[in-house]
Chain A
Amino acid sequence: MTYLKKSPWLLHYDASSCNGCDIEVLAALTPLYDVERFGIINTGNPKHADIFLVTGGVNAQNKQVLINTYEQIPEPKVVIAIGICATSGGIYRECYNILGGIDKIIPVDVYVPGCAARPESIIDGVVTALGILEQKRLVMKTKTETKMVKAGDAQ
């Protein structure tokens, strides 16, 4: 039985986005869409998060912040790139300061394109991410089990 699907907590980070996608992310949390129906909570803390929502094309200044935040999220975790800037850099792709997409820095599981991405498509992206989260949990479980078996053999 998996409970990860029933209680995914989000962490939202703005990696040099224009704020358009960020407003849409927050719109998904308003009473109109009310994602808390599905147990989704927007936390401000990477150590409590399961799903990492990133917007914007990443520049040299917030690259390290993005890596730090990603590494502080306990396994299993998934990353969703929200908006076209986060998926590829979008219209800012050729800019000297833009690194061009989140997947240049950290592994991305789900891409939600759009300028700005609509709340419906963000929620759809989160639902897709839940399936990936479940796969990752199973992988993590088998890994720890094999580790325990190996430790048992060594003894």
Chain B
Amino acid sequence: MIPEYLAPFIWAVLYILLAPVIGGLIAGIDRKVTARMQGRVGPPLLQPFYDVAKLYEKENLVVTASQNFFVLSYLVFMAVAGALFFSGGDMLLVIFAFTLSHIFLVLGAYASYSPYSHIGAERELLQIIAYEPMIILTAVGMYMVTKSFFVGTIVTSSIPIILYLPGIFIGYLIVLTIKLRKSPFDLSTSHHAHQELVKGVTTDFGGPNLGKIEVAHWYEYVFLLGVVWLFFAWNPLIAIVAIIIAYFIEILIDNTFARVKWQLMLRSAWIIAGTLGLVNLGVLYYLRTVVVP
């Protein structure tokens, strides 16, 4: 049997090795389901892996050499954030590492001289501003229910967290749309509207650097869906079903909604965080301190 003090390291190593595989498969399923929703056959399941392998066969074209550093930092900090999460670390530290990795992506986009890249970087910053309060509220909500910020404690708690935090869960699903770069909010990369911003933040990254950004997205997918797991951690079967349903809803939203302006994104993300999130926390606080002290 593995000694208990080694378990966090094993989880971290497993995440670093397996998350790109799982994340790539999720991206492949995503493209296949999207194609079916649009009445197309769609690419093979392994297409995201072919894409990244191809990008590594291409020439690494950069505008300034610092772009290489920023993109590598984005990938490394994304992997660190996920590894901290899966090794049962502090939720707040995970969120800090997660935000830092996105700041590196923004800096990388600002390092080039293209106006499209700059607009993409500005929109990426706005997206960070939009989703950050809700992500913090998620961590605070989990603390109020389980009395711990540590993922290791939250995941082993037998409390059905979703029943205490339904508002926070809905709010998290809405910012998940921003984080997964899905349609109403795919402002910074212009994921679907290819020609509109050229390609937003990723405009000036080509070849292996773009490949690194894709792999970082795969790490991100697994981490974000891991947070969904926490809400249902008391029952793994329900957790897996919840993740599948949540991701399917994200794809459905992606294919049925037009893109919004950044003002509406910021407003809706903050109003949701302010109402659903704070009201949920307020009710929880009231029940804990007044009704059942």
Contacts and interface: CB of A to CB of B under 8 A. Distances in A.
B203 A47 contact: yes
B224 interface: no
A28 B31 CA distance: 18
Contacts of B59: 74-76, 140
A23 to B, nearest CB: 15
A7 B50 contact: yes
A34 interface: yes
Given A74-B61, A74-B207, A36 B35 contact: yes
Contacts of B279: none
Interface in A61-90: 72, 74-76
Given A43-B194, A48-B206, A37 B41 contact: yes
A4 B207 CA distance: 11
A11 B132 CA distance: 35
A74 B31 CA distance: 25
A43 B54 CA distance: 15
B195 A44 contact: yes
Contacts of B58: 50, 74-76
A47 B114 CA distance: 12
B183 to A, nearest CB: 17
Interface in A132-155: 137, 140
Interface string A30-50: 010010111100111101101
Contacts of B50: 3, 6-7, 39
A51 B225 CA distance: 35
A137 B210 CA distance: 18
B275 to A, nearest CB: 37
Contacts of A44: 194-196, 198-199
A36 B40 CA distance: 9
Contact of B57 (A4, A31, A38, A45): A4
Nearest to A45: B199
A47 B44 CA distance: 24
A3 B54 contact: yes
Which of B40, B57, B210 has the largest count of A CB atoms less than 10 A from its CB?
B57
B40 A31 contact: yes
A47 B204 contact: yes
A44 B51 CA distance: 16
A72 B206 CA distance: 10
Contact of B43 (A37, A48, A76): A37
A74 B206 CA distance: 7
B157 interface: no
Contacts of A47: 61, 203-206, 210
Given A7-B50, A36-B42, 5 more contacts: A31-B39, A34-B35, A45-B194, A45-B199, A48-B202
28 contacts: A2-B57, A3-B50, A3-B53, A4-B57, A6-B47, A6-B54, A7-B53, A31-B38, A31-B40, A34-B41, A36-B43, A37-B42, A38-B43, A39-B44, A39-B47, A39-B51, A42-B194, A45-B194, A45-B198, A47-B203, A47-B204, A47-B206, A48-B202, A50-B58, A74-B58, A74-B60, A75-B59, A76-B58
State the 3 A-B residue pairs at the shortest beta-carbon distance, nearest first. A47-B206, A3-B53, A44-B195
Interface of B: 31, 35, 38-44, 47, 50-51, 53-54, 57-61, 194-196, 198-199, 202-207, 210
